[in-house]
Chains A and B, each alone.
Chain A
């Protein structure tokens, strides 16, 4: 197992390096420059000074090496848009809210999604199945930019049950978490249903039945563990998506999260911010995938073994 973890770790570092390199050079291919319209009106000497200050006058491979060195030291550079703030500071400030919201909504979607999926599979082609899948259909077809404002407007404003926005007490977490979980619930419910139905048709379920086990026992000890495997696989990327923040839900509920920062950095062509946040996003994704692989190994003994060899 240790060897497996070590090897995965090396792959992780290589993947991250590829992503840093690709993002860095792709950024350079973007048209325009980070100093915006002001650059056009600026005397060339001033622009040259500015470029020198940010190291943009040097050849690109030198900029790349310097940047790589800084990243290794944990320095993602200074924002072009807010020259007083470093990218790391921005992340430190905005990420906690996104992370918390993400974890809450993830927990909600896993619990609700899997339950719906399991019910649907066990009551296949009965009304419970149809209603679960109807809920899932709604979840998939209604985007969060519709759900979030509706929740904020009705539950928040008109009925006044929960606060319509802001990021203060625990009661502020509920509506955004629901809005964010909506789509994920649908995906998880559908996947879990399909996976359960597949497992139910396998031979070893018949074996379990031939031992005289009750249906509930068969579901718990034979079906769930095998059915959850494909869910573990997709849960990684889903988790990353959810915890790194989403522009829509964060702006509707006025949450100071990372999603907003990412979008604004792109519109202002804030090189360091875009690269920095991309690397951060990628790093989280890779770490979560790594954790997913370990969980996978715990759930499925076949994978644990192939890693050992």
Chain B
């Protein structure tokens, strides 16, 4: 797939609070190749958004800080974790763009759409105001908005949620970034609009060959457009693999749980949807062993004592679960997972 655009190595991010240190991200590593779509999946509070926003250094510090030994290498030359704020300003919006979750609140209500899109262009490129506006109009057409020239002069409140998310996408693409981070881009939208936005993102990804990090808890969205998937739990990657690996041959009980909690067309309509019992651990004091052990129906003695390393399944597919240890007992994958689970 080409050489990596982003290499994250042992990323650890903590928040210093009055009550102590919240270890939101506890050693996340992954690589993203050029033109690839990586999905980060996990439930609320698993650290996926913090990971994404740390890559753009958008989380204010203090209270957050990147711990010693973390590395975020962007485009083979920029060490994001060591950059100053002004160096970051040249990268943000220019080489990396971000799409946020809620388009209702992520656009400035007192500025026209055109002004908001052209702002980034004016900052990073030597263009006049009218050139920037022209580019903004092209971008609006690219994201599928009709009458782009009129739209430029409208305010966000005159647009629907889906339209605003299109504006957000246009805005993030303004300077042809090499990396696009989409933080739950469809969560706040209607289901029908969600599909349109995903289609749009996939289209743009194919046209522009931008690398995308897609943060989501919606496995349907993952299946639609991701090439690679990492599953996060309690600030750690518990399983990584290609889309096929994760959907057809998942090796971590947490991934099983996630897959089972997606509604299926062929399931009994009266049956209750499966859910994973319990709640994620307290990240003020993460457990010693596997963080998922307390909720895991397959937990063994070793799980509560030693945190498992990643076990190699095949090339690019690994899972942090003791069940993959050669000496572990054989466990049947729950019914309904594996072949046919998606689609």
Contacts and interface: CB of A to CB of B under 8 A. Distances in A.
Interface in B80-123: 85-86, 88-94, 97-98, 100, 102, 105-111, 116, 119-120, 123
Interface residues of A, number: 23
A225 B120 contact: no
B173 to A, nearest CB: 11
A204 B93 contact: no
A4 to B, nearest CB: 17
A226 to B, nearest CB: 6
Interface string A188-216: 00000000000000111011111111110
A171 interface: no
B58 A209 contact: yes
A60 interface: no
A221 interface: yes
B124 interface: yes
Interface string B142-169: 0000000000000101100000000010
Contacts of B259: none
A305 B108 CA distance: 16
Nearest to B106: A203
Contacts of A209: 58, 92
B90 A210 contact: no
Contacts, number: 80
Interface string A237-271: 00000000000000000000000000000000000
Interface stretch (A105-113, A156-164, A296-304): A296-304
Contacts of A202: 105
Contact of A207 (B85, B86, B100, B157): B100
B288 to A, nearest CB: 35
Given A221-B111, A300-B109, A206 B100 contact: yes
B158 A212 contact: no
Nearest to A199: B108
A8 interface: no
Contacts of A305: 155, 157-158
Interface residues of B, number: 34
Contacts of B111: 221-222
Nearest to A223: B108
A207 B88 CA distance: 14
B157 A302 contact: yes
Nearest to B107: A204
A210 B108 contact: no
A230 to B, nearest CB: 13
Contact of B93 (A206, A212, A222): A212
Interface in A261-309: 299-302, 305
Contacts of B172: 210
Contacts of B105: 202-204
B171 interface: yes
B56 interface: yes
B44 to A, nearest CB: 17
B123 A212 contact: yes
Contacts of B116: 207
Contacts of B94: 212
A15 B73 CA distance: 65
Contacts of A301: 109-110, 155, 157
A309 to B, nearest CB: 12
Contacts of A221: 111, 119
B48 to A, nearest CB: 16
A208 B109 contact: no
Contacts of B89: 212-214
Interface in B297-341: none
A221 to B, nearest CB: 7
A82 to B, nearest CB: 51
Given A203-B100, A212-B88, 15 more contacts: A203-B102, A203-B106, A207-B116, A210-B56, A211-B174, A212-B92, A212-B123, A212-B124, A222-B108, A222-B111, A225-B110, A226-B109, A300-B109, A301-B155, A305-B155
| Nearest 10 pairs of A and B residues by beta carbon | A212-B93, A211-B120, A211-B93, A212-B92, A203-B105, A210-B98, A203-B106, A204-B108, A301-B155, A212-B89
17 contacts: A202-B105, A204-B106, A204-B108, A204-B109, A207-B100, A210-B98, A211-B93, A211-B119, A211-B174, A212-B92, A213-B123, A221-B119, A222-B111, A225-B110, A302-B109, A302-B157, A305-B158
